[in-house]
Structure 1
Amino acid sequence: MSSMVYRAMKICSTHQALHDEYEFIREVSLKNGYPIAFGESVIRKQLNLVYPPHAIISTTPGTDIIVLQVPYYGKASQISGNRLTAVVAKQYSSEQVRVVYDVTA
Structure 2
Amino acid sequence: MQPLWLRPFEGYTGSHIIVIWNEWAFDYHGYSKRTDLIAHYFKRARQRWPGWNAELTLLPHNVLISEQKSKEIKGLWLREPDQFLHNALPRAERYLDRFSPPPGI
TM-score (norm 1): 0.29
Larger Rg, first or second structure (1 or 2): 1
Tell me which protein shows more helix as a share of its residues: 1
TM-score (norm 2): 0.29
Tell me which protein shows more strand as a share of its residues: 2
